[in-house]
């Protein structure tokens, strides 16, 4: 029978444990931590399905890396990834398959970085085990699904002094990086409100696609719970612009969901045509739209939306509203306002040219050629590797991974308690007051080159 995977709202017991851990002094502050340089980053990729197979190709473009291991529950996926390595003129990697092959990979002494692209329920178990085995970790979003998992990530990273970066690629999209610089330069004034979203109709082509998510895991995650299941794409970029964990911190939230008007009817329709979907026909599904409102300690607000089951055009609603102006992307083209009027096209173009970050000037055009959601995936990968190779702090640390991910269980808790206010833990344990903002320069870095070669053709 189909059933919801173990995704739980933050229980009273979890909240109480979180309060106790929050009051415990951290063993080490990972914000701004620079690990020893790694001349050649040896990578093990766990999960080479949809996201992982793309990562194999992208990372193969970056010099100063070697993909030494590939892991997946399904051996045939590893075979396809090995072909990608061959096509990219890279050596064949070690193989780890089966239900717990990932543990053996994490124990491999020839790996520096574990790069995880598995179903969400495995993100924290893999990250925690990998760090205990001396590996840095880059994990797909969300990094955790429960409060307990969020604290496991934080405590393990602090104890082992190993990086745990959530692969929030949207922080590296071009307009998002531009707005980060606009905010930092004061053009929008003090940011008082922001909005982010993940609005992407997955229902027909993905959630009910038998060949999309292994064992229908993503559909199962939409069974039986309310809340925002995928907050980090919208939250990550605005959190960086608002210096969350680095000058301010999220304090509390309220969350409300609509009823489900489409997933259950679609499940019944699918079951009538295909017996495979019969176990999904009588389930209670998450409401179509969730709205979660967050307030920070300094009195600023963030609105997050989540909808993957109605036919709205794709949107992440990247919006920043400040005391001097605002910026917005989706719906419609990216726009910037100074004062209460949108800039004219030529004025905005001049502003974009002036305030484009050095990171984008250095690698942006190459990233567009390599690809990955328009290039932002490659900017993220290149930046991660360049920081590891040069011994630089990462743009996203374990506190970001925990804070952005904890919206999943906390929004569920609020939505299921008639939108009651829920406190958000301070995963930095007070260090947000002195932690420095994400750096905008390439000082000391930008030494990692991108390979140029002819791909092998069939």
pLDDT at res. 18:
79
Arithmetic mean of pLDDT, 71-87: 97
3-state secondary structure the chain: CCCCCCCCCCCHHHHHHHHHHHCCCCCCCCCCCCCCCCCCEEEEEECCCHHHHHHHHHHHCECCEEEEEEEECCHHHHHHHHHHHHHCCCCCCEEEECCCHHHHHHHCCCCCEEEECCCHHHHHHHHHHHHHCCCEEEECCCCCCCHHHHHHHHHHHHHHCCCEEECCHHHHCHHHHHHHHHHHCCCCCCEEEEEEEEECCCHHHHHCCCCCCHHHHHHHHCECCCCCCCCHHHHHHHHHHCCECCCECEEEEEEEECCCCCHHHHHHHHHHHCHHHHHHCCCCECCCCEEEEEEECCCCEEEEEEECCCCCCCECCEEEEECCEEEEECCCCCEEEECCEECCHHHHHHHHHHHCCHHHHHHHHHHHHHCCHHHHHHHHHHHHHHHHHHCCCCCCCHHHHHHHHCHHHHHHHHHHCCCCCEECCCCCCCHHHCCCCCCCCCCCCCCCCECCCCCCCC
Return the minimum-mean-pLDDT range out of 15-19, 331-335, 366-370.
Answer: 15-19
Arithmetic mean of pLDDT, 100-110: 97
Is the torsion defined by CA of 30, 168, 47, 62 positive or negative? negative
| Cβ-contact 190, 322 below 8 angstroms | yes
> What is the rounded distance in angstroms from the CA atom of residue 409 to the CA atom of residue 415?
10
pLDDT at res. 4:
45
pTM above 0.85, yes or no: yes
pLDDT at res. 1:
42
Taking Cα atoms as reference points, which of 181, 171, 182 lies closest to residue 326? 182
For residue 457, pLDDT over 60 is answered with: no
Average pLDDT, the chain: 95
Reported as a single tens digit per residue, the pLDDT across 241-273 is 999 999 999 999 999 999 999 999 999 999 999
Domains of the chain by start residue, with CATH: 12-168 (3.40.50.720), 171-360+399-433 (3.30.360.10)
> What is the rounded distance in angstroms from the CA atom of residue 220 to the CA atom of residue 120?
12
């Amino acid at each position: 029978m189909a059933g919801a995977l173990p995704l739980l709202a933050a229980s009273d017991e979890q909240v109480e444990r979180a309060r106790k851990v929050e009051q415990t002094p951290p063993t080490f502050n990972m914000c701004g931590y620079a690990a020893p340089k790694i001349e050649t980053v040896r990578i093990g990729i766990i999960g080479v399905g949809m996201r992982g197979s793309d990562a194999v190709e992208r990372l193969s473009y970056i010099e100063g890396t070697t993909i030494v291991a590939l892991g997946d529950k399904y051996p045939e996926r590893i075979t396809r990834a090995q072909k990608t390595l061959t096509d990219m003129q890279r050596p064949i990697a070690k193989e780890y398959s089966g239900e717990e092959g990932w543990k053996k990979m994490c124990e491999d002494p020839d790996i520096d970085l574990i790069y995880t692209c598995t179903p969400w329920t495995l993100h924290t178990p893999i990250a925690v085990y990998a760090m205990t085995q001396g590996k840095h970790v880059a994990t797909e979003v969300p990094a955790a699904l429960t409060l307990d998992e969020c604290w496991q990530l934080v405590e393990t990273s602090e104890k082992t002094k190993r990086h745990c970066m959530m692969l929030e690629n949207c922080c590296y999209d071009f307009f998002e990086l531009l707005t980060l610089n606009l905010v930092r330069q004061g053009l929008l004034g003090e940011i008082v409100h922001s909005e982010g979203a993940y609005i992407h109709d997955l229902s027909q082509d993905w959630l009910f696609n038998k060949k999309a998510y292994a064992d229908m895991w993503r559909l199962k995650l939409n069974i039986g719970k309310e809340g925002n299941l995928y907050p980090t794409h919208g939250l990550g970029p605005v959190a960086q612009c608002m210096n969350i964990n680095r000058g301010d911190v999220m304090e509390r939230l309220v969350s409300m969901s609509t009823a489900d008007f489409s997933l259950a009817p679609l499940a019944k329709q699918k079951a009538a045509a295909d017996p495979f979907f019969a176990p999904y026909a009588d389930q209670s599904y998450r409401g179509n739209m969730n709205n979660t409102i967050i307030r920070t300690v300094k009195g600023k607000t963030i609105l997050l939306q989540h909808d993957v089951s109605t036919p709205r055009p794709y949107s992440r609603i990247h919006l920043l509203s400040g005391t001097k102006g605002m910026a917005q992307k989706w719906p419609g083209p990216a726009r910037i306002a100074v004062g209460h009027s949108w800039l004219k096209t030529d004025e905005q173009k001049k502003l974009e040219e002036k305030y484009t970050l050095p990171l984008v000037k250095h690698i942006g055009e190459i990233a567009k050629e390599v690809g990955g959601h328009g290039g932002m995936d490659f900017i993220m990968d290149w930046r991660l590797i360049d920081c590891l190779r040069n011994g630089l702090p990462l743009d996203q640390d374990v506190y970001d991974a925990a804070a952005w991910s904890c919206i999943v269980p906390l929004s569920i808790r609020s939505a299921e308690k008639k939108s009651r206010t829920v406190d958000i833990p301070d995963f930095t344990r007070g260090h947000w007051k002195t932690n420095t903002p994400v750096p905008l320069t390439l000082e000391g870095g930008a030494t990692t080159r991108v390979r140029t070669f002819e791909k092998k053709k069939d």
